Amino acid sequence: MLLILATAVALQSSITIGSRPKQDTTKLSARDSTRIARRDSIRARVDSIRDEREKRLPRRDSVTAKHLGSAFRDAAARTLLQRARVARLEQDSTLLAYDATAYQRISAGLGFKKIGRDRLLFRRENASRVRWRRGEGVWIDVKGMRTALPAIPKARVEMDSDDDFTPIPYYPGREAMWVGSGMVKREVDDREIVHPLAEGAEAYYQYSTGDSIIFRLPDGSRIRLGELEVTARRPKWNLIVGSFWFDQSSAQLVRAAYRLSIPMDIVEIEASEGDDDEIPRWLRPMTANIKGITVEYGLHKGRWWLPRSQVAEGDAQISVMRVPFKLEESFKYASVNGTGALPTLPILAQRQDSLAEHDTAAVDSTGRRRRRSSSVDDGDATIHVRERRRGGPLVVTRVPKDSAMLASSPDLPKSIYDDGDELFGRAEADELMKELDFGLQAGWDPQRPKLHYGLEQGLLRYNRVEGLSAGIMATQTFGAGYSGSAMARIGTADHQLNGELSMLRSDGRRTFGATAYRRLALVNDWGDPFALGPSVSALLFGREDGLYYRSFGAELTATTERRSPLSFRLFAERQSDADVETHFSVANVISDTRFVDNVESKEGSIAGVGARFRTSRGLDPHGFRLLADVRAEGAAGAFDYSRGAFDATISHGIGPRLDGSITLSGGTSGGRVPAQRHWYLGGAQTIRGHDVGVASGNAFWMGRAELGTSFIAARPVIFYDLGWAGSRTDWQHPGVPVSGAGIGASFVDGLFRFDLAKGIRPNTGVRAYFYLEAKF
């Protein structure tokens, strides 16, 4: 739902870099006509799809006696569902009007890593005055509106449907539960997300009552809220799990928190619908997951529940790219059931010819009447008249033409990069999300296993130990929050069979896992040498920053899925050496370039525990930004040791044209630390201009300084790196540190990075690096 919304925003945007050129009236008119025609064409297609969806007959499973017998875990749940089902279809005729301010923000990020630097790809926000009166319709005055594409800071964005994205908090027949909702539907349709309150939902869900809360109002009256917990019978992409709170006296929805029972697998959905256009394998996996939706209502004049805030958050994955997204809405009411009438629109009556020219409420070739959509020039503003939903109210939207005034409106937050925690009620949303714990899970119903290979799940890689290592993985969702995976791989150089067998349980916010494994493990604390970029670099240029050892054992893991992830690992394993088995690369064939040696690991069996905390703060590319990583580990057995380290990168603008970044890192240890748990400097992630392992030891410190232009789409950079690694007893007497300097180019706020570095001490060679997910 949100992924489609974000895509629609992008498709209906015109982006121009630079200021608006001066053009004559004829050219402007021609361009505007073309833009209107394109907008109406897009709207016609969207309306056609929506109309077909709205008119088709619902598809659903029949509700059997067996379903009814198992749908309710207590009698109170049955009663509450039946009352809520009636209430969602009723319309309170005593609610006649309201005057509200609506805020909306749509954000999308971009990255390669699941956990990394927050990077904003796109953000759009608006503030509008929304007035509704029963029998008359909705009048929207857009007060503020702006769009940010940080990678293209001077872009001017023209939206082809500015009138479509202001949320309307309420109108008769509006669906109360979905963010970005349409009209309420009586029956379940399992071709869409199955509504837990619609008729026929008992075939898909089970219900139980939860807690209750009593509020005392200023006049002394009391409001009692009751919770209805909803769980899916089986793990399926169009079923949800959630907590819904209702006013016990009216059965009106007051607040809700829910999520998809499992992520959406777009490839699987397309296949199940019989789509002949198969998604190319290089675009897989293609998934989308709504991690949580929260809806909260406020009580007005002791009688009417109206929306106060709505937040939806999730992410999508297309091949190796990850796109986190969020939709936030909030509403503040100046009056409810006020006596003021909606503004009149005499200009519409005066310009019927203009309306007829762009009105899409005509009869198409099939004889169906299309939804009304009209646009009128009103001097300093454009007025749109549109029926957004079949059966919904007529919506009149007035959008001022002065984009600078809209962007600097006092009705918007001070900066488009602000968190908006208070405006969108993030604290309340986070509290609601806590309701989605391990007790709210889809039922146990094992699904068909899925096979993964090739570039999916990082199953194809190249390095100097394994050579070309290809794997195959089977994953399966069991239900009740459980999923499992089995993976096997073998390398062309070492001929070693590695594999993992895992069982996970997640509630969407936390994940616990148990894994048995035999793997090639990483010595490195920085970067991901197993990723696609380093594998290509190793194969083509004979250069990689990975250091490896072999491990065989088992682990228990725990991870929080939140803004600042915290992970724990309890492990028992046997560690052993991993030899360099190949020097093959394109560079080796051409110039006999050879890989660097691997670390000589100490063999032994140990048991231990590890923890890691990562956080990213700040979205403004030229404001204060922080990326921090703190990790600790300890083990006992053949060798007893403890180690801890931190990395912190701070960046900020320096004047109007430059940005700067500083990275500070340090780590130390205790006990007898084996070679495979030392720190190794050198390479793209530490001291550039040197091979990995130029300095190593059981303690280290490092600093990196970078200076670049403020144009983050393609930013030239100069840098200087300095660091030391050695025995912790020499901390205060490091001797001559390792250093390097160079120039580089950062693209799309560090998403892609190229560096040319020259070692200063102890080596003076020149090395080139291309890598992904840079810190600056």
Does a structural domain hold residue 648?
yes
For the chain, the average pLDDT equals 87
**Domain carrying residue 301:** 2-433
Assess whether 639 and 761 both reside in one domain: yes
Does a structural domain hold residue 29?
yes
Q: Over 70: is that where the pLDDT of 53 sits?
A: no
Tell me if 489 sits within 8 A of 499, measured CB to CB. yes
Q: Which residues contact 321 (CB under 8 A, 6 or more apart)?
A: 110, 111, 112
Residue 640's domain is classified under what CATH number? 2.40.160.50
What's the pLDDT score for residue 402?
93
Least trusted range by pLDDT, from 11-20, 93-102, 152-161: 11-20
Least trusted range by pLDDT, from 21-30, 59-68, 132-141: 21-30
Q: Find the largest Cα–Cα distance for the chain.
A: 89
Place of tokens 């084996």: 674
pLDDT in tens, 87-120: 999 888 899 999 999 999 999 999 888 777 889 9
Does a structural domain hold residue 474?
yes
Calculate what percentage of the chain has a pLDDT beyond 90.
65
Assess whether 565 and 691 both reside in one domain: no
Confidence of residue 720 (pLDDT cuts 50, 70, 90): very high
Assess whether 578 and 727 both reside in one domain: no
pLDDT in tens, 236-264: 999 999 999 999 999 999 999 999 999 99
What are the DSSP calls for 540-607, one per residue?
Answer: HHS-----EEEEEEEEEEEEE-SSS-EEEEEEEEEEE---------HHHHHH---PPPPP-PPPEEEE
Least trusted range by pLDDT, from 386-390, 474-478, 511-515, 772-776: 386-390
Confidence of residue 276 (pLDDT cuts 50, 70, 90): low
For β-strands 394-400 and 460-463, DSSP reports them as unpaired
**What is the average per-residue pLDDT within 57-73?**
89
Does a structural domain hold residue 610?
no
| Residue where a domain terminates, one of 376, 411, 433 | 433
Q: Over 80: is that where the pLDDT of 366 sits?
A: no
Assess whether 731 and 641 both reside in one domain: yes
Q: Over 70: is that where the pLDDT of 357 sits?
A: no
Does a structural domain hold residue 766?
yes
Distances (CA, A) of 227 to 94, 194, 355: 26, 19, 49
Assess whether 426 and 458 both reside in one domain: no
Assess whether 111 and 256 both reside in one domain: yes
**What is the average per-residue pLDDT within 264-293?**
81
Q: Over 80: is that where the pLDDT of 152 sits?
A: no
Report how far residue 403's alpha carbon sits from residue 380's, in angstroms, rounded to the nearest whole number.
Answer: 11
Assess whether 183 and 213 both reside in one domain: yes
Does a structural domain hold residue 606?
no
Assess whether 580 and 686 both reside in one domain: no
Assess whether 533 and 633 both reside in one domain: no
**What is the average per-residue pLDDT within 31-55?**
49
**What is the average per-residue pLDDT within 507-529?**
95
**What is the average per-residue pLDDT within 261-279?**
78
pLDDT in tens, 42-51: 445 445 545 5
What's the pLDDT score for residue 492?
97
Overall number of domains in the chain: 3
Q: Which residues contact 165 (CB under 8 A, 6 or more apart)?
A: 9, 104, 106, 124, 126, 159
What's the pLDDT score for residue 627?
95
What's the pLDDT score for residue 345?
62
Q: Over 80: is that where the pLDDT of 15 sits?
A: no
What radius of gyration do the chain's Cα atoms show?
29
| Residue where a domain terminates, one of 367, 401, 433 | 433
Does a structural domain hold residue 403?
yes
Assess whether 402 and 321 both reside in one domain: yes
pLDDT in tens, 393-439: 889 999 999 989 999 999 999 999 998 887 888 888 888 888 899 98
Residue 555, token pair as written in the block? 């682990």
| Residue where a domain terminates, one of 562, 579, 601 | 601
Report how far residue 296's alpha carbon sits from residue 310's, in angstroms, rounded to the nearest whole number.
Answer: 6
Assess whether 301 and 406 both reside in one domain: yes
What's the pLDDT score for residue 154?
61
Confidence of residue 351 (pLDDT cuts 50, 70, 90): very low
Could you write out the three-class secondary structure of 338-374? CCCCCCCCHHHHHCHHHHHHHCCCCECCCCCECCCEE
Q: Over 90: is that where the pLDDT of 598 sits?
A: yes
Report how far residue 176's alpha carbon sits from residue 184's, in angstroms, rounded to the nearest whole number.
Answer: 8
Q: Over 70: is that where the pLDDT of 300 sits?
A: yes
Calculate what percentage of the chain has a pLDDT beyond 70.
86
Q: Over 80: is that where the pLDDT of 743 sits?
A: yes
What are the DSSP calls for 193-262, one per residue?
Answer: PPPTTSBTGGGTEEEEEEEEEEEE-TTS-EEEEEEEEEEESS--TT-EEEEEEEETTT--EEEEEEEESS
Of 260, 271, 204, nearest to 234 by C-alpha is 204
Least trusted range by pLDDT, from 124-138, 367-381, 593-607, 706-720: 367-381
Does a structural domain hold residue 303?
yes
**What is the average per-residue pLDDT within 295-303?**
93
Least trusted range by pLDDT, from 180-189, 462-471, 545-554, 630-639: 180-189
Of 124, 135, 126, nearest to 168 by C-alpha is 126
Report how far residue 552's alpha carbon sits from residue 25's, in angstroms, rounded to the nearest whole number.
Answer: 74
Torsion of CA 759, 764, 770, 771, to 10 degrees: -40
Q: Over 90: is that where the pLDDT of 356 sits?
A: no
Assess whether 564 and 453 both reside in one domain: yes
